[in-house]
Amino acid sequence: MHKEATLYRMVTPGHICPFGLKSKDLLKREGFKVDDRHLSTREETDAFKQKHGVDTTPQTFIDGQRVGGYDELRRHFNKTPEEDFGSRYTPVIATFALAALATLAFLLRATVFKDGEIFTLEGTIMTFIGVAMVLLSLQKIQDVVAFSRQFITYDLLGMKKPRYAYVYPFVEAYAGLAMIAGIPAMLFAPFSIFIGAIGAVSVIKAVYIDKRELKCACVGGNSDVPLGFISLTENLGMLGAGLWMLFS
């Protein structure tokens, strides 16, 4: 028999609560059948909070008993709090680690692959895109929890699988480093195409079709940059570079 849980979360035309998405994903991973109930207006959300005497949503109920919000749900399942995923030194570690890997990538291209095309226009553009991808991934990795909370509110795959948000920055870093190093395109281009294509479609849907006003997670979860042209350019750049490297 399936274990069952009832989840109340805010889903409006302009806002999808990231903690609601994460609560739903966690419940499913714990083997629960989720009765997913949307609070579709601010008035409906306020009425729910007043009725149950709570200050925030989402709220999860298991066996008729209120467990609480996302943090309480993680504690209920004895999961490590998200805030403990990194440390105060994470930004420093991420900066020096990616700097070292980028240096190795340049040395690999010069000594192993001996790629003279780096000095051509095409090589320069591809190297620039690779460096940009590494720098953008750095912004995300410095606080991957904050990044995930913004990212999953518009990324189509992130909405379905919130843990994808924790993988995305590292895939972006790998593709960028591989592009800098000049390794065979088959080893990295599919990754660049995959995340670039999903990202581009997600931004187009959220911004230009659904007309949602969101913050862009492309430069980290703590940014105040509006989602739109910048994020779309990032994703189209990854998609285009991956396709070019794969088929050129």
> Which carries the bigger pLDDT value, residue 124 or residue 99?
99
Taking the CA atoms of 132, 136, 137 and 138 in sequence, report the sign of the dihedral they define: positive
Q: Which helix (H) or strand (E) holds 178?
A: helix 164-181
Q: How confident is the model at residue 95 (pLDDT cuts 50, 70, 90)?
A: very high
pLDDT surpassing 70 at residue 114: no
- Closest C-alpha to 145, from 221, 225, 57, 56: 221
pLDDT surpassing 80 at residue 105: yes
Q: In whole numbers, what is the pLDDT of the chain averaged over residues?
A: 90
- pTM comes to 0.89
pLDDT surpassing 80 at residue 128: yes
pLDDT surpassing 80 at residue 247: yes
Domains of the chain: 3-82 (3.40.30.10), 87-247 (no CATH)
Q: How confident is the model at residue 109 (pLDDT cuts 50, 70, 90)?
A: confident
pLDDT surpassing 90 at residue 218: no
**The token pair that represents 204 in the structure block:** 């187009």
φ/ψ (deg, to 5) at 52: -100, 0
- Closest C-alpha to 227, from 238, 213, 237, 239: 213
Q: How confident is the model at residue 187 (pLDDT cuts 50, 70, 90)?
A: very high
Q: How confident is the model at residue 1 (pLDDT cuts 50, 70, 90)?
A: low
**The token pair that represents 122 in the structure block:** 């095409």
